Amino acid sequence: MMPANNIQDEHTFGEFGGVNPSISDSATYTFLAAKTMGDTFEGSSEGCYLYSRHTSPSNLHLSNTLAAMEGTESAHVTGSGMGAITSVLLQLCGASDHIVSSRTIYGGTWAFMKNFLPKFSINTSFVDITSLEAIEAAITKNTKVIYCESVSNPLLEIADIPRLAEIAKRHNVKLVVDNTFTPLIISANKLGADITIHSLTKFINGTNDTVGGVICADTEFIDNLKSVMDGAAMLLGPVMDSYRSASILKNMRTLHIRMQKHSQNAKYISEQLEQDGIRVVYPGLKSHKNHKTISSLYNPEFGFGGMLTIDAGDLETANKLMEAMQKKGVGFLAVSLGFYKTLFNAPGTATSSEIPIEEQQEMGLNDGLIRFSMGLDHDIKRTYEWIRECLIEVEMLTPLYDSMNLYKLEIAQNELILN
């Protein structure tokens, strides 16, 4: 699977030979023959556009590029990641259907399953996604979907997609994977997922100037989603604007370089933190509990991703550290991820705050956890120096550690002199 090559090879010229495709600036489209309009309504006329809630040329260019990246037959872009997730779940599930979901997922997805879908009698069992027995045990005759994130938010647990796919196939349910944290790094459909979702808001767009989403799957499912009769993406209307999709497509041209840099920087920082005795979770560290799993699944040239977490012990220390890091210029105290600048927040009170405290504790999400989305810093050594100064300032590292090292250095020097 060569996702970066596939993106690069997917190219459309503008109608006057422009190196970028033209941006479509229309909500509706004319037909030369009345019959073609009827055919398009029935979803069968290739190359004809009907109405921009269904699709537009700009949205189709971006969708095709994302399908190429994931290696799926087709894709459909949406106005946000949640627009993609909610459309997929409502397309796959009806009244009294059941979902088996990872318990560590994006807070919005969790809230949708826990609080919104029960209005339609669609219920969800939340399980530890790394326990195949727990997943198998949660499946009932009404289960339609196994849902997970390839690298989970915020605990960075790794879903063993090929094994989950095997379970899904055996029970005739769909495996839906949110791959937002690991574009290019994990090719979820190639590993067996039926449907791969991204929030384009994060790494894929990378400039934090818009929200967006995509659903990558086979043509049959994407056509169903867009059906004028009963397609969730068509009828719920989570449409992306053409100007935005044109802009996201241009940003995708540098995605492979950005992912490599995010990964490189996150690996360096987590190694340094670990060496300094800070409790750090990063899929690229040997100490990560699912390091073997991700090592067998990922596309190595893009690394282990830009996300890491540290444990500051308690919320007060976490908050102090984040404020200190913001002041020092390490990055911004903000939700979201995939930006050129490092972003950090305490998920317990921010991006996962939809999840009640007791349930957060049960899944191992403690309130001292800080999630980092490492930026594209050129001089990452300087960044670590700053982080280190902040760790000392909030007493997560003692200057004693430094003086110990100096002390050892002195002994060594004295020995040199004595010898």
Ligand X SMILES: *Cc1c(COP(=O)(O)O)cnc(C)c1O
Binding residues for ligand X restricted to 205-234, rule: CB under 6 A: 211, 213
77 beta partners: 214
Q: Choose between 182 and 260: whose C-beta lies nearer to ligand X.
A: 182
Stretch that binds ligand X, among 74-82, 161-169, 258-266, 272-280 (CB under 6 A): 74-82
**Closer to ligand X at the Cβ: 40 or 351?**
351
- C-alpha 206/C-alpha 200 separation (Å) is 8
Smallest separation (angstroms) from ligand X to the CB of 82: 4
149 lies in the binding site for ligand X (CB under 6 A): yes
Q: Which is nearer to ligand X, 199 or 360 (CB)?
A: 199
Query: Which residue among 23, 66, 77, 82 contacts ligand X (CB under 6 A)?
Result: 82
Helical spans, DSSP H, in 335-379: 357-362
Q: What angle do CA 266, 370, 251 make, to 5 degrees?
A: 45
- Near ligand X by CB under 6 A: residue from 59, 180, 205, 352: 180
Asked if 178 touches ligand X (CB under 6 A), the answer is yes
Residue 168 or residue 211: which is nearer to ligand X going by CB? 211
CB count, 10 Å around CB of 237?
A: 12
Give CA–CA dist 259/204, Å, rounded: 9
Determine, following the binding rule CB under 6 A, whether residue 70 of this chain makes contact with ligand X: no
123-127/143-149 β-pairing: unpaired
Determine if 265 is a binding residue for ligand X (CB under 6 A).
no
Q: Can you tell me which of 65, 201, 319, 352 binds ligand X, judged by CB under 6 A?
A: 201
Q: In this structure, are strands 98-102 and 143-149 parallel, antiparallel, or unpaired?
A: parallel
Classify residue 215 by its DSSP letter. Answer: E
Q: Report helix, strand or coil for 57.
A: helix
Q: Which helix H or strand E contains 257, and what residues bound it?
A: helix 255-275
Out of 20, 29, 41, 108, point to the residue binding ligand X (CB under 6 A). 108
136 within 8 A of 180, measured Cβ to Cβ: no
Binders of ligand X: how many residues, by CB under 6 A? Answer: 15
Question: Using the rule CB under 6 A, which residue among 3, 21, 57, 81 binds ligand X?
Answer: 81
Residue nearest to ligand X (CB): 81
Q: How far is the CB of 66 from ligand X (least distance, A)?
A: 14
Phi, psi (5° rounding) for residue 98? -135, 145
- Quick one: which segment of 54-62, 78-86, 234-242, 325-333 binds ligand X (CB under 6 A)? 78-86
In angstroms, the CA 83 to CA 214 distance is 9
Nearest residue to 244 (alpha-carbon basis) of 407, 79, 47, 55: 79
Question: Given the complex with ligand X, which of 148 and 330 has the nearer CB atom?
Answer: 148
Element (H, E) at 266: helix 255-275
How far apart are alpha carbons 247 and 278 in whole angstroms?
39
CB-nearer residue toward ligand X: 181 or 302: 181
Q: Which residue has the tokens 């540098």?
A: 254
Interacting span for ligand X (CB under 6 A) from 33-41, 79-87, 95-103, 369-377: 79-87
21/375 with CB nearer ligand X: 375
Alpha-carbon gap, residue 346 to 83, rounded angstroms: 25
Among 61, 144, 202, 258, binds ligand X (CB under 6 A): 202
Q: Minimum distance between the CB of residue 419 and ligand X, rounded to whole angstroms? A: 57
Q: Residue type for 82, please?
A: M
Interface segment toward ligand X; rule CB under 6 A; list 197-205, 228-236, 284-292, 377-385: 197-205
Write out the residues near ligand X by the rule CB under 6 A: 80-82, 106, 108-109, 149, 153, 178, 180, 199, 201-202, 211, 213
